[in-house]
């Protein structure tokens, strides 16, 4: 696992509560990790993996924390795992506190590749 950087990302409509880009809901800091060929990817310490929302972004996995504003794991805290779904067998996810989710479970939590198609 390699941490590449922390960058602002947008999941919202492009404007915050005051209309200014980058402010308000949908915006936050994302830690970017590279899944590579790792068997396990460790999320940053304090990130609430067990309550996070799992979102497919093409071959990438986006995790978004549900916590209260200002608390560790605050709402809007995001972890983007680049190329997570690019391998045949996705990596397990692990926390510094000892939590672990298998790649198969993460795939199910992230939903189908093409929602609504059969």
Return the bridge partners of 42, or none: 94
Three-state DSSP class for residue 34? strand
pLDDT of 41-77, one tens digit each? Answer: 999 998 999 999 999 999 999 999 886 555 555 567 8
Residues 6+ apart with CB under 8 A from 17: 23, 24, 25
For 92, phi then psi, to 5°, come to -75, 155
pLDDT at residue number 109:
96
Selection from 56, 101, 90, 96 nearest residue 73 by Cα: 96
Mean predicted confidence (pLDDT) in 72-84: 80
| Confidence (pTM) | 0.70
Please, which pLDDT band fits residue 3 given cuts at 50, 70 and 90? Answer: very low
Task: Take residue 22 and report the two structure tokens written for it.
Answer: 């980058």
Scan for tokens 């999941």, then name that residue: 11
């Amino acid at each position: 696992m390699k941490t590449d950087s922390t960058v602002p990302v947008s999941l919202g409509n492009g404007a915050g509560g005051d209309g200014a880009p980058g402010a308000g809901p949908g915006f936050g800091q994302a830690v970017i990790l590279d899944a590579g060929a790792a068997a396990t990817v460790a999320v940053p310490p304090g990130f609430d993996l067990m309550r996070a929302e799992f979102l497919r972004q093409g071959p990438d996995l986006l995790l978004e924390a549900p916590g209260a504003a200002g608390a560790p794991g605050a709402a809007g805290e995001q972890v983007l795992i680049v190329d997570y779904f690019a391998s045949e067998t996705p990596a397990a996810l692990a926390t510094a506190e000892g939590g672990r989710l298998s790649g198969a479970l993460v795939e199910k939590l992230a939903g189908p590749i093409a929602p609504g198609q059969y």
